[in-house]
């Protein structure tokens, strides 16, 4: 852990001696990356549910987002329409780079919010991953053109600094110093997103132009920010912790790549900076008052030192991205204090603050996490917050190899992540409340942070289906796919076929070159075992249980840490079949959740259902009963093909009426803004 306060030196030294002793005595307990994700090239999705969506995202959404960042769209929100009328055009994020490239400074004009640069970089990151999976020369050419403009902007600055808002509007306040504020300016956030985009684009294409920009900028950051006499600044928005770490990891993994970079690569400084950004939160300077930084708030997780934080607080995207970075840093450094914080964050988030759809951040004011068990139906639940909570859960699983993390990851991807984007891939939700308030997906937003984040998750998804720990294979997600791995030096192909999430059948065909002994660890979802949430935040009336067969022979299903281990000498054509119980479940929240007391929601597999007035005109007065006779049926023509849940409820007069529920993520695709509900009052009989 990188700590710079002088007065702590003696204590730290003794702690280090002790820690070193402890580390060698118990080296196994040091956090590490147990599960490694597969590279994009190793996994190909071929799935009835995800492949059509991937097609829309790769052929429409990624172009849509770049076009809209360029200002090519018809505004459909009053704020944007008014802005267009005023400007005579829509905002164009790339003009900012061009202005800076032309040497403009302090003009007072900047298109879009200060984090517009960051959104461009995030879109490049998402697009890079999608490119790695679905090569598209036209898209690659387009991105190369954007990168030329970004690099030109950097070249205009002798230091290699690049943040167009600050250069054009607050040039004397880089990184939020001199009375500026990085929480607003997003200098460090934008820089972090640039680094991540550069790493992903390099991994996808082998091109180094953006990597050169990222290295030059990182080097400059390392000369400016850190222990005295450098500036004492932390990211106003979490995220750069994980992304600068990725830059470090790339050069650690591929040292010869440094020879292709035009600036010297100082990767150890990048890691030190990551740790400074984590450890400086909640520390406001030296004990003697020197090197001071204004104390800040939980909004950007600066209310107390990170390693003392026990709950996840503040702006939900900032908090979950920081948590992701802390987890990644724990695995990189082996520092148990970071791992401990990550575990505490996750327990608090998944156990007390996570909505049934995987939504995060109950409160609109400050886009914040609410207090424990504050889970109101009208909550804010920004798409970005849920997605970053997904990244956090995925990293936790890499660190702890426990299926409960993927259970919550899955809750996110099938619900609050997918609801963020329309079925046609060109409209987006910012907020995803559990009760419809007329909110409609929009073409573009004043703060369009969610579409790039959606692309990031879309691009990352294939990598998370499987994991590998050096000897055993983890099946984390049920997504039809072909994976190829090298296990103990030999090629092994795995073919997964499934009707998930509409059906509970999963088939894994294992094809090693020759007979090979290793373990397949198949995730058994908590919901399928009556554990709706690892901390009992939710419970259900599950009916049925998972059944597993190997080569047709039933096996006991007794998962440890969420994974069922099947260890054997595998030979070509061996088959594992899993059948998950998909009958609709009625889900209730823990009694501590006051806001949805005496209410029930419906789930089938990982999918949460909702009642839309399109199907249920008298929605407000329904009561749902455990004997509602819920049935699941697949409707190929509806909403691109979905299961619906039908059953009986009582209306306000006590009369029995039939209802239809559709997956939460499909809401608003038939009648934008149509009212809906997820939680229905519990009735006493049927
Ligand atoms: O600050 C940048 C982005 O804007 C955040 O991640 C979103 O929550 C929105 O506030
Ligand atoms: Zn967002």
User: In the numeric block, which tokens belong to residue 153?
Assistant: 């902007």
Query: Checking DSSP bridges between strand 680-682 and strand 599-604, what pairing results, if any?
Result: antiparallel
Query: pLDDT, tens digit, for every residue of 110-143?
Result: 999 999 999 999 999 999 999 999 999 999 999 9
Average pLDDT over residues 350-354: 98
Q: Which residues contact 455 (CB under 8 A, 6 or more apart)?
A: 57, 61, 62, 65, 122, 123, 125, 126, 127, 130
Q: Are 327 and 390 in contact (CB under 8 A)?
A: no
Q: Coil, strand, or helix at residue 586?
A: strand
Whether residue 222 lies inside any domain: the answer is no
Whether residue 623 lies inside any domain: the answer is yes
Query: pLDDT, tens digit, for every residue of 506-520?
Result: 999 999 998 889 999
Looking at the DSSP bridge assignments, the partners of residue 609 are 663
More confident residue, 57 or 3: 57
CA 217 to chain centroid, in Å, comes to 25
- Taking the CA of 237 as reference, the closest ligand is 1
Rounded CA separation 40/464 (Å): 10
User: In the numeric block, which tokens belong to residue 129?
Assistant: 């991953």
Co-location of 386 and 491 in the same domain = no
Best of 237, 381, 428 to mutate for ligand 1, by most ligand atoms within 8 A of CB? 237
Q: Are 489 and 564 in contact (CB under 8 A)?
A: no
CA of 484 to the centre of ligand 2 (A): 34
Whether residue 356 lies inside any domain: the answer is yes
Indicate the residue among 547, 579, 611 that finishes a domain.
579
Q: Name, of 3-12, 77-86, 345-354, the range with top average pLDDT.
A: 345-354
- Phi then psi for residue 368, to 5 deg, are -105, 160
User: In the numeric block, which tokens belong to residue 410?
Assistant: 């899955």
- What's the 3-state SS for 506-556? EEEEEEECCCEEEEEEEECCHHHHCCCCCCCCEEECCCCCCEEEECCEEEC
Rounded CA separation 494/442 (Å): 40
Q: Are 660 and 645 in contact (CB under 8 A)?
A: yes
- Total domain count, the chain: 3
The CA radius of gyration of the chain, in Å to the nearest whole number, is 25
Looking at the DSSP bridge assignments, the partners of residue 511 are 493
Q: Which of 98-107, 506-515, 540-549, 616-625 has the lowest mean pLDDT?
A: 616-625
CA of 118 to the centre of ligand 2 (A): 12
CA of 112 to the centre of ligand 2 (A): 14
Whether residue 81 lies inside any domain: the answer is no
Co-location of 304 and 355 in the same domain = yes
Whether residue 175 lies inside any domain: the answer is no
Eight-state DSSP code of residue 112: S
Atom of ligand 1 nearest to the CA of 186: 1
Q: pLDDT category, 11, cuts 50, 70, 90?
A: very low
Q: Are 478 and 540 in contact (CB under 8 A)?
A: no
Average pLDDT over residues 430-452: 96
The pLDDT > 70 percentage for the chain reads: 96
Q: Are 345 and 321 in contact (CB under 8 A)?
A: no
CATH assignment at residue 562:
2.60.40
**What would the DSSP string read from start to end of 619-665?**
GGG-EE-TTS--EEEEETTSTTSEEEEEEEEE-TTS-EEEEEEEEGG
The reported pLDDT for the residue numbered 349 is: 98
Q: pLDDT category, 289, cuts 50, 70, 90?
A: confident
Q: Are 397 and 348 in contact (CB under 8 A)?
A: no
CA of 101 to the centre of ligand 2 (A): 28
Apex 397 CA angle, 509 and 254, nearest 5? 85
User: In the numeric block, which tokens belong to residue 170?
Assistant: 């607050």
Number of residues assigned to the chain: 686
Co-location of 470 and 575 in the same domain = yes
The reported pLDDT for the residue numbered 22 is: 45
CA of 167 to the centre of ligand 1 (A): 20
Residue 603 pLDDT > 70: yes
Co-location of 315 and 376 in the same domain = yes
Q: Which of 138-152, 158-172, 608-622 has the lowest mean pLDDT?
A: 608-622
Q: Are 465 and 477 in contact (CB under 8 A)?
A: yes
The reported pLDDT for the residue numbered 10 is: 37
Residue 164 pLDDT > 80: yes
Best of 112, 113, 114, 115 to mutate for ligand 1, by most ligand atoms within 8 A of CB? 115
Whether residue 587 lies inside any domain: the answer is no
Indicate the residue among 579, 606, 624 that finishes a domain.
579
Residue 2 pLDDT > 60: no
Co-location of 546 and 658 in the same domain = no
**Per-chain residues with Cβ under 5 A from ion ligand 2:** 382, 384, 449-450
CA of 497 to the centre of ligand 2 (A): 33
Co-location of 567 and 613 in the same domain = no
| Sign of the alpha-carbon dihedral angle for 321, 322, 328, 331 | negative
The pLDDT > 90 percentage for the chain reads: 90
User: In the numeric block, which tokens belong to residue 441?
Assistant: 């997906």
Q: Are 505 and 528 in contact (CB under 8 A)?
A: no
Whether residue 26 lies inside any domain: the answer is no
CA of 458 to the centre of ligand 2 (A): 15
Average pLDDT over residues 22-49: 84
Average pLDDT over residues 479-506: 96
The reported pLDDT for the residue numbered 4 is: 40
Task: List all residues whose CB is within 6 A of at least one atom of ligand 1.
Answer: 115, 237, 317, 367, 382, 384, 447, 449
Query: Residue 525 belongs to what domain range?
Result: 466-579
- Taking the CA of 318 as reference, the closest ligand is 1
Q: Are 390 and 635 in contact (CB under 8 A)?
A: no
Co-location of 555 and 604 in the same domain = no
Co-location of 321 and 395 in the same domain = yes
User: In the numeric block, which tokens belong to residue 34?
Assistant: 């147990």
Nearest CA to ligand 1 atom 8: 317
Query: pLDDT, tens digit, for every residue of 223-265?
Result: 999 999 999 999 999 999 999 999 999 999 999 999 999 999 9
CA of 680 to the centre of ligand 2 (A): 28
Indicate the residue among 355, 389, 419 that finishes a domain.
419
Best of 163, 317, 364, 416 to mutate for ligand 1, by most ligand atoms within 8 A of CB? 317
- Taking the CA of 428 as reference, the closest ligand is 2
Residue 286 pLDDT > 50: yes
Atom of ligand 1 nearest to the CA of 318: 6
Nearest CA to ligand 1 atom 3: 449
Residue 312 pLDDT > 90: yes
Name the E strands within 544-606.
547-550, 553-555, 563-570, 574-579, 585-589, 599-604
Whether residue 438 lies inside any domain: the answer is no
Atom of ligand 1 nearest to the CA of 453: 6
- Taking the CA of 429 as reference, the closest ligand is 2
The reported pLDDT for the residue numbered 685 is: 58
CA of 451 to the centre of ligand 1 (A): 12
More confident residue, 288 or 196: 196
Query: pLDDT, tens digit, for every residue of 623-667?
Result: 998 888 999 999 999 999 999 999 999 988 888 999 999 999 999
Q: Are 289 and 304 in contact (CB under 8 A)?
A: no
Our CA dihedral for 613, 616, 619, 625, rounded to 10 degrees, sits at: -140
CA of 93 to the centre of ligand 1 (A): 16
CA distances (Å), 109 to each of 91, 149, 644, in order? 11, 18, 50
- Taking the CA of 185 as reference, the closest ligand is 1
Co-location of 604 and 573 in the same domain = no
Number of other CB atoms surrounding residue 295 within 10 Å = 12
- Phi then psi for residue 421, to 5 deg, are -130, 140
Residue 14 pLDDT > 60: no
Average pLDDT over residues 144-155: 98
- Taking the CA of 321 as reference, the closest ligand is 1
Residue 100 pLDDT > 60: yes
Co-location of 338 and 414 in the same domain = yes
Co-location of 370 and 480 in the same domain = no
Co-location of 562 and 654 in the same domain = no
Best of 176, 315, 322, 360 to mutate for ligand 1, by most ligand atoms within 8 A of CB? 315
The model carries a pTM of 0.96
Apex 552 CA angle, 550 and 558, nearest 5? 40
Atom of ligand 1 nearest to the CA of 315: 8
């Amino acid at each position: 852990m990188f700590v710079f306060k002088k007065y702590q030196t003696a204590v730290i030294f003794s702690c280090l001696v002790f820690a070193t002793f402890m580390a060698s005595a118990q080296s196994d307990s040091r956090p590490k990356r147990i599960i490694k994700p597969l590279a994009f090239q190793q996994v190909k999705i071929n799935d009835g549910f995800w492949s059509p969506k991937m097609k829309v995202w790769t052929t429409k959404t990624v172009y849509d987002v770049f076009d809209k960042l360029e200002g090519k769209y018809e505004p459909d929100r009053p704020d944007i329409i008014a802005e267009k009328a005023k400007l005579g055009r829509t905002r164009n994020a790339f003009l900012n780079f061009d202005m800076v490239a032309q040497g403009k400074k302090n003009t007072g004009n900047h298109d879009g919010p200060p984090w517009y640069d960051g959104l461009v970089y995030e879109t490049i990151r998402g697009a890079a991953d999608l490119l790695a999976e679905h090569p598209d020369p036209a898209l690659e050419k387009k991105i190369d053109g954007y990168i030329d403009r970004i690099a030109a902007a950097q070249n205009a600055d002798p230091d290699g600094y690049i943040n167009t808002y600050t250069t054009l509007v607050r040039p004397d306040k880089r990184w939020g110093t001199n009375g500026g504020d990085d929480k607003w300016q997003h200098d460090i956030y934008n820089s972090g997103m640039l680094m991540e985009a550069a790493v992903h684009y390099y991994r996808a294409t082998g091109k180094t132009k953006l990597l050169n920009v990222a290295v030059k900028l990182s080097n400059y950051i390392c000369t400016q920010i850190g222990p005295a006499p450098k500036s004492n600044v932390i990211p106003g928005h979490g995220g750069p912790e994980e992304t600068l770490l990725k830059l470090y990891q790339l050069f650690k993994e591929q040292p010869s790549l440094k020879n292709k970079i035009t600036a010297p690569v100082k990767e150890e400084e990048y890691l030190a900076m990551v740790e400074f950004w984590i450890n400086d939160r909640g520390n406001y300077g030296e004990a003697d008052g020197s090197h001071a930084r204004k104390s800040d708030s939980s909004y950007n997780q600066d209310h107390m030192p990170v390693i003392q934080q026990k709950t996840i607080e503040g702006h939900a995207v900032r908090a979950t991205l920081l948590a992701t970075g802390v987890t990644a840093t724990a695995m990189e450094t082996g520092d148990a204090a970071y791992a401990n914080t990550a575990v505490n964050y996750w327990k608090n988030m998944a156990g007390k603050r996570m909505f049934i759809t995987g939504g995060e951040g109950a409160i609109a004011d400050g886009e914040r996490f609410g207090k424990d068990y504050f889970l109101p139906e009208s909550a804010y639940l920004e798409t970005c917050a849920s997605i970053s909570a997904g990244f956090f859960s995925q990293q936790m699983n890499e660190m702890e190899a426990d299926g409960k993390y993927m259970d919550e990851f899955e809750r996110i991807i099938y619900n609050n992540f997918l609801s963020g984007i329309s079925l046609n891939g060109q409209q987006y939700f910012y907020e995803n409340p559990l009760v419809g308030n007329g909110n409609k997906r929009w073409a573009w937003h004043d703060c369009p942070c969610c579409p790039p984040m959606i692309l990031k998750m879309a691009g990352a998804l294939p990598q998370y289906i499987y994991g590998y720990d050096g000897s055993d294979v983890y099946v984390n997600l049920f997504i039809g796919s072909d994976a190829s791995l090298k296990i103990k030096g030999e090629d092994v192909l795995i073919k997964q076929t499934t009707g998930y999430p509409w059906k509970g059948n999963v088939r894994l065909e294992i094809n090693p070159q020759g007979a090979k002994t290793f373990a397949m660890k198949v995730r058994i979802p908590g919901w399928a075992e009556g554990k709706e949430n690892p901390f009992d935040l939710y419970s259900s009336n599950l009916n049925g249980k998972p059944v597993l067969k190997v080569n047709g022979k039933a096996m006991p299903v007794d998962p440890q840490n969420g994974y069922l281990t099947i260890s054997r000498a595998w030979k070509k054509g061996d088959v594992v079949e899993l059948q998950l119980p998909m009958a609709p479940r009625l889900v209730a929240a823990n009694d501590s959740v006051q806001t949805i007391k005496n209410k029930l929601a419906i789930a089938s597999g990982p999918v949460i259902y909702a009642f839309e007035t399109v199907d249920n005109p008298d929605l407000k007065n329904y009561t749902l009963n455990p004997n509602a006779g819920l049935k699941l049926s697949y409707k190929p023509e509806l909403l691109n093909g979905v299961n619906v849940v039908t059953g009986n409820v009582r209306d306000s007069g006590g009369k029995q009426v039939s209802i239809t529920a559709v997956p939460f993520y499909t809401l608003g695709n038939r009648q934008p803004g149509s009212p809906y509900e997820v939680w229905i009052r519990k009735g006493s009989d049927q």
